[in-house]
Amino acid sequence: MVLSTGYSKIRTAVFISGTGSNLKSLIRFSKTNKSPISIELIFSNNSKAKGLAFAKLHKIKKKVLNFKNKNSSENKLLSFLKNNNIELICLAGFMKILSKNFIKKFEGKILNIHPSLLPKYKGLNTHKRALNNKEKHSGCTVHFVSSRLDSGKIVLQKKTKISKKETAASLAKKILAQEHKLYPKAILKVFNL
């Protein structure tokens, strides 16, 4: 990934819709010496997203746009990102699908984390579907965002064993703990670190 604004760290926005536990792990990572990113903005489509609380806690700018009118929200967001010199976007539990136009403006500069071993189980309810199919393993994937849902180039994956007594909730918990480690590792990999 090639970046050009000349800041010492890559100015990153994290997009969330809910709890923000991946955001929390990215913030922790961003404060380490080895991190190439600094988190400058937290964006959410949901004003009630719990993860927005991390903005105040860590003195990070936040922005909420409800996406009811996707086109106008995306246009406002694009100018906000531009005004804040954002170079990288990390989707972390962001539940809206970005338009082709938006993705084009940040081509190759949007990452997402998905709770399955892509290309298996794109979309929602991944854990339930993996269990229904009697999978022995599932996991999580960090990938670049392309205009096709959960289909961009894979950066890194982590496999998790599914136990005999697994439920969708227990699997979600196990995989989420792996996600928190995988996202920082994937960022290091993207920047050849």
x-or-dash string of contact with ligand GRF, 129-158, rule CB under 6 A: ------------------------------
Pick 10 or 182: Cβ nearer ligand GRF: 182
The 3 state secondary structure assigned to the chain is CCCCCCCCCEEEEEEECCCCHHHHHHHHHHCCCCCCEEEEEEEECCCCCHHHHHHHHHCCEEEECCCCCHHHHHHHHHHHHHHCCCCEEEECCCCCCCCHHHHHHCCCCEEEEECCCCCCCCCCCHHHHHHHCCCCEEEEEEEECCCCCCCCCEEEEEEEECCCCCCHHHHHHHHHHHHHHHHHHHHHHHCCC
Stretch of 29-37, 60-68, 79-87, 111-119 lying at the interface with ligand GRF (CB under 6 A): 111-119
Pick 92 or 130: Cβ nearer ligand GRF: 92
**Chosen residue from 92, 118, 155, 186 binding ligand GRF by CB under 6 A:** 92
Active site residue 180: no
CB of 20 to ligand GRF, least distance (A): 5
CB of 67 to ligand GRF, least distance (A): 16
Pick 56 or 173: Cβ nearer ligand GRF: 173
Distance CA 170, CA 162 (A): 9
Interface of this chain with ligand GRF, residues 25 to 64, rule: CB under 6 A: 51
The upper half-sphere exposure of residue 5, i.e. CA atoms within 13 Å in the direction of its Cβ, equals 14
**Chosen residue from 11, 12, 14, 22 binding ligand GRF by CB under 6 A:** 22
Q: Is 184 in the site for ligand GRF (CB under 6 A)?
A: no
Which residues are at the interface with ligand GRF (CB under 6 A)?
A: 16, 18-22, 51, 92-93, 113-115, 176, 179
